[in-house]
């Protein structure tokens, strides 16, 4: 949750160049909520599922299968889930949330594919199981900044 909130702060202050007086604390709180109650638990569950589903003795094949499943199954789903949860927390009507998804989901997912496969290759090959979630959450600081920017860019107010 804290790293998700930090990503939003980086987006607001560093990317969007907002003045401190224009900083949206509620937006950061939403990010922290999603990170703590949605992203963190879903990643934790996903990694447990991958360990049960991918049973491959060869380390490179094991890593490749996990990255493939992560990017084909988990990434598209959680990218959409982020925008839906954020919209619900903003109390945006569902038809407007769908409109936002149509506007930003695909480009966000394509950016995901430029970053996360390499991160996950390293993660699944070199990082011990117990440290995988903290590793991706740390890398996720930059990703959360990007998600925050994309979410704002796709805002119905813009």
Separation between Cα atoms, residue 144 and residue 137, nearest integer Å: 9
Separation between Cα atoms, residue 155 and residue 150, nearest integer Å: 8
Task: Give the domain extent around 86.
Answer: 2-153
Helix, strand, or coil (residue 97): helix
Q: What is the pLDDT of residues 11-62, one digit of tens each?
A: 999 988 998 889 999 999 999 999 999 999 999 999 999 999 999 999 999 9
Q: What is the pLDDT of residues 91-100, one digit of tens each?
A: 999 999 999 9
Inside any domain, residue 146: yes
Inside any domain, residue 158: no
Residue whose tokens read 């890593």: 63
Give the total number of structural domains in the chain: 1
Inside any domain, residue 35: yes
Please give the structure tokens belonging to residue 147: 């998600």
Inside any domain, residue 85: yes
Inside any domain, residue 70: yes
Inside any domain, residue 81: yes
Is the full-model pTM beyond 0.85?
A: yes
């Amino acid at each position: 949750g804290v790293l998700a909130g930090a990503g939003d702060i980086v987006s607001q202050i560093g990317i969007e160049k907002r003045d401190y007086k224009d900083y949206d604390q509620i937006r950061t709180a939403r990010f922290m909520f999603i990170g703590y109650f949605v992203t963190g638990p879903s990643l934790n569950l996903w990694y447990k599922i991958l360990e049960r589903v991918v049973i491959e003795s060869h380390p490179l094949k094991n890593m490749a299968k996990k990255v493939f499943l992560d990017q084909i199954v988990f990434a598209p789903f959680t990218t959409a889930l982020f925008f839906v949860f954020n919209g619900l927390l903003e109390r945006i009507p569902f038809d407007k949330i769908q409109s936002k998804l149509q506007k930003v989901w695909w480009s966000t997912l394509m950016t995901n594919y430029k970053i996360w496969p390499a991160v996950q290759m390293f993660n699944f090959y070199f990082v011990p199981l117990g440290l995988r979630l903290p590793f991706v959450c740390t890398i996720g600081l930059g990703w959360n900044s990007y998600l925050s920017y994309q979410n704002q860019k796709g805002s119905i107010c813009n």
